[in-house]
Amino acid sequence: MLSFDADWSLMTPEIVLAAAALLIFTIDFMTGINGKKPFIGRLSIVALLATAALVLFWNGGNSGSIGDMFVVDPFSTAFKILILTGTAIVIGISMYYLDRHPDVYQGEFYSLLLFASLGAMLMVSSADLITLFIGLEILSISAYCMAGFKKYSKKSTEAAVKYVVLGGTASAFILYGMSFMYGLTGTTSLVEIGAQIGSLFDAYPFLVMMSLLFMLVGFGFKISVVPFHMWAPDVYEGAPTPVTSFLTVISKIAAFAIILRVFFTGFGGIYEEWGFIIAIVAAVTMIAGNLIALTQHNVKRLMAYSGIAQAGYLLVPIAAFVTLDMTVSVILFYAVAYMVMTLGAFAVITIVTESSGSEDILSFSGLYRRSPFLAIAMSAFLISLAGLPVSAGFTGKAWIFFQAISADMLWLAVIMIVTSIVSFFYYFGIIRQMFMKEPKEKEGQLRIPAGMSGIVTVTLIFTLGLGILPFLLINFFTTMQWMAF
Amino acid sequence: MIPNILSWLVFLPLAGALILLVIPRENKNVIRSLAAGTALITLILSLIVWSGFDRGASSAQMGVSYPWIDFGLLQINYELGIDGLSLPLLLLTTVVTTLGIFASFTIQDRIKEYFVWTLVLMTGMLGVFTALDLFLFFLFFELTLIPMFFIIGIWGGKKREYASFKFLIYTGLGSGVMFLAFIAMAFKGSEAIGAAEATFNMAALADIYANPANPEAVSAAFKTGLFAALLLAFAVKLPIFPLHTWLPDAYAEAPVAATMILAGVLSKLGAYGLLRIGYGILPDQAVSFATFIAVLAVINILYGACLALVQTDLKKLIAYASISHMGIILLGAASFTEAGLQGAIFQMVSHGVITALLFFMVGAIYERTKTRELSELGGLSKSIPVLTGFMLAAALASLGLPGLSGFVSELLAFIGIFGASPDVIPQAVPIAVIGALGIILTAAYLLWAVQRTAFGQLNERFTGLKDARPVEYIPMVGLLGVSLLIGIYPNVLSDVINSTVIDFVSRIGG
């Protein structure tokens, strides 16, 4: 049970981030609700990077827990670094975006982003259903608000309403599934659930499976896998573009982290019972996501379906289980790759759609003439998303293939390859617009502010770097023992 | 010899491409000469490799090997090396690409990008021909896809976007199948010997799959499936009927120099992969497929030739001729005789230079007449005698006139198939006889095409056209020269490939 003499210092990064978020909220409150506030954005980035430094150096090598509820281990540390750097990049994109939208009240935007990443941090550190749910809700509620941030835009409002209703339903599913587990075991600790799961399943197979399936529905919603993906295109389209990038990348990665923790720590003992369900969900998600993406003309919707397809790829290593450390390594590597290529792509999308005022794919036409750098960078991100060499996406996907084959799941690997080739159509469709079409006459050279070109450059370096020198990360990952619990 | 010379060779064009990136686009002549210079130095390096090659040895030479990525399940090395199969193709790549770059000097639009992509493409092709690790092979194989997509899609003809997407998807699917086959091969291989980590090393895999002590894990059915998958994968690139439909579009739409590279070198990647990986690792399965491959080859030869006969567009005619001639490579390879395999490799090189030359001539004629319709052309020998002369020479080389490389190649390939062991191909003679019909058809469509282009009534529009420019002589003389050299003195090539070919044939039957 939780005792108050536990090592609370493990939570220092979270406490610092929470304090920073509140401080920024207060500063914002004191400076009035109107006007541009780039300094708050900068402050938020500093807060995130400071937290990341704490995660790395304060908790770094340690493993420990606060009463088995809040865990610090290499798994949580790695995901937290991802979440924090990802959020920092999102804030960088937001600063550009909000700069061009003086009509949007910038007030709480940055502190909401910080709270969202705080929630994500709590999620990845949870070894208990309660803390996990709290983290999930902190993230979700902040995200609902952010989705509706363009309050004079009908689409944005619609997105927020849709998101809050469906997201709430998903949370309810998760909670319902958790309550089954609590009723059966009398505990919310994943470790204890994991210890009992074998005998529990023998005694109450139906209830255990119900619990698992309800949670899977809820989590499946959060990572937007088919058939729980319906909300994603609408919400992604309606939400402000930086928020879309946050939802596609950070909240999805965090949700994957808790899926790993819940399913392997809690339900690991009965893997045979649910592994194939994940495999089927992965297959359906890859097929539907990639096929529907073919028909999209709105870039943000296209990225939503692309994100759905990518979530399908990320499920494959869970379905094709070899060892836990391997699965976590593969997912983490792909998560890193997914983060840099997707955020990079979103940075470019933000610049292009903001300058043309349209989110149609046609706004990319002739981008090469208007900004060769952006066009080349975007091509690299898209090639990486499509999984072609030499890119992070290729290496990540190759590693997933390897695992699927070594787990004898050839059929899943085949689906992944075929759907990846389908994805060439829509990813290269954007490339075609950029390189093979002429820009509309009135559009001149694109001006890119330093911050944005910095973001694009850094993500580009990582996207290509992890394709050429993947061993820097892989050799490190394969030696790790990720989970303390 | 320069240490690590193969790495230099492979990555030099890429380095050139990177340097090009920082040069302002306005400096067109600097860009052109830098691209040509890079390609020339690469060509010189490949000649150094050629001269330093040990003709007596059959195994890979000049190797470099560094550990690269350890996936935990799988060890991947950066491994390059060449043998008698890769070396001729390496030289073919440098020759055709360098001459292709000279032929690209006429390109006026987006010059910088064009040469960057061409140089990246060159690195990809050189990499494929030198890689000894399956992962690396795949990487380079895919690396050729992206530049070609851009080159066709940006600088191509009217239907360029359609053609580039078709090219991308078809060859992408082929690559997907190939990658799956590679992974399955590596993992089953490691299972068979009980290794903790799988390997992608070609030589190691060949040892595993050749060892009769490993039948338990790698059953005959599995090996057959694997070979079928590899055949399917490489058939797309080769291309083999019915997976060829991307080719006429891509060839017809790509800009001249790109078609030279595409037809001259890129299509050889498929044949090379089939020999290197299919034959190299699974020789016995290859033998069991020999009849099937030979039949496919004959279909390719006749089908390509028949379609070439009915084309009205000169470039499309040569595209279909190319399908037909690729069949001869396959036919030689199917025979599993020394002559046949020699013929296959000869044909790869020979077809590479001759097709490149043919496409170049079509481009040069099109540039002047603005048409490729055979019905509109005619009598060009009166207004542009030099160009039509080279066109005729290329056509004669292509239909196998003695003294030119096409003759040696076809002769060897047909000697091979006629002499194939009945254990390998029971019906070798009928297959060979039907295949030989292709030679007659080839003569028919090529001579007819030349006749309708060069001779007859001169169209009024085409009087006073400019004949060949000095810069055009470089690719014309270079390519025809290689064809002549091989035709007159085949030893220059057979000398290099013999040991490897003998080794290939000796591997049949474990």
Distance from CA of A126 to the nearest CA of B (A): 28
Nearest to B183 among A401, A436, A475 (CB): A401
pLDDT at B378: 79
Residue that wins the pLDDT comparison between B124 and A9:
B124
When CB atoms are compared, the residue of A402, A428, A432 closest to B74 is: A402
Task: Determine, for residues A478 and B71 on separate chains, whether the beta-carbon distance falls below 8 Å.
Answer: yes
Number of domains in chain B: 1
At residue B158, the pLDDT reads 86
Select the residue of A402, A418, A436 nearest B183 (Cβ to Cβ): A402
pLDDT at B510: 47
User: Is residue B135 within 8 Å of residue B70, measured between CB atoms?
Assistant: no
Give yes or no for residue A139 having a pLDDT over 90: yes
d(CA A65, CA B132): 48
Range with the lowest mean pLDDT among A4-8, B252-256, B264-268, B469-473?
A4-8
Chain A residues closer than 8 Å to B177 by CB: 417
Residues of B in contact with A475 (CB under 8 A): 69-70
Please give the average per-residue pLDDT across B477-497, as a whole number. Answer: 92
The pLDDT of residue A2 is above 60? no
Residues 138-197 (B) with a CB less than 8 A from some CB of A: 138-139, 142-143, 145-146, 149-150, 153-154, 160-161, 164-165, 168-169, 172-173, 176-177, 179-180, 183-184, 187
User: Strand B74-82 relative to strand B198-199: parallel, antiparallel, unpaired?
Assistant: parallel
Report whether pLDDT(B509) > 90: no
B153 and A403 within 8 Å at the Cβ level: the answer is no
Tokens 């935990």 -> residue: B72
> From the candidates A390, A401, A405, which should be mutated to test the interface with B, based on the most B CB atoms within 10 A?
A405
Residue A103 has pLDDT above 80, yes or no: no
If one compares B192 and B82, the residue with the highest pLDDT of the two is: B82
Q: What is the pTM of this model?
A: 0.93
**A173/B429 Cα distance (integer angstroms):** 71
DSSP string, A124-165: HTB-BHHHHHHHHHHHHHHHHHHHT-STT-HHHHHHHHHHHH
Burial bucket for residue B133 (CB in 10 Å: 0-12, 13-18, 19+):
buried
ipTM score of the complex?
0.90
- For B473, the domain range is 5-507
Q: Give contacts of B123 with chain A, Cβ < 8 Å.
A: none
- Residue A365 token pair: 């036409």
Chain segment B341-375, per-residue pLDDT in tens: 999 999 999 999 999 999 999 988 888 888 888 88
| CA distances for B150 relative to A428, B124, B144, B355, angstroms | 10, 14, 11, 22
From chain A, the residues in CB contact with B184 under 8 A are 405, 410
Contact criterion met (CB < 8 Å) for A406 and B154: no
How far is it, in rounded angstroms, from Cα B247 to Cα B167? 8
Distance from CA of A405 to the nearest CA of B (A): 7
By three-state DSSP, how is residue B63 classified? strand
Mutation pick from B69, B148, B178, B179 vs chain A, by most beta carbons of A within 10 Å, is B69
Closest residue to A471, CB basis, from B68, B160, B198 = B68
Q: What band does B466 get if pLDDT is binned at 50, 70 and 90? A: confident
Is the pLDDT assigned to residue A475 strictly greater than 60?
Answer: yes
Residue B61: beta bridge partners?
A: B82
Would you give the DSSP letter of residue B421?
-
Distance from CA of B75 to the nearest CA of A (A): 11
Q: What is the mean pLDDT of residues B286-297?
A: 92
From the CA of B6, how many Å to the nearest CA of chain A?
A: 18
Buried/exposed code over B155-177 (b: 16+ C-beta within 10 A; e: otherwise): bbeeebbebbbbbbbbbbbbbbb
**Residue B503 predicted with pLDDT over 60:** yes
CB contact under 8 A, A326 and B73: yes
Q: What is the DSSP string of B112-153?
A: HHHHHHHHHHHHHHHHHHHB-BHHHHHHHHHHTHHHHHHHHH
Q: Are B170 and B235 in contact (CB under 8 A)?
A: no
Q: CB of B10 within 8 Å of any CB in chain A?
A: no
Span between the terminal Cα atoms of chain A, in Å? 16
pLDDT tens-digit map of A225-252: 988 888 999 999 999 999 999 999 999 9
Return d(Cα A400, Cα A111) in angstroms, integer. Answer: 36
CA distance B76 to chain A (A): 10
Assign A65 to helix, strand or coil: strand
B154 contacts on A by Cβ (under 8 Å): 435-436
CB–CB of A328/A79 below 8 Å? Answer: no
**Section A118-134 average pLDDT:** 93
**Torsion angle of alpha carbons B337, B339, B341, B343, nearest 10°?**
-150
Do A185 and A192 contact (CB within 8 A), yes or no? yes
* A405·B184 Cβ contact <8 A: yes
| Encoded tokens for A194 | 């994991």
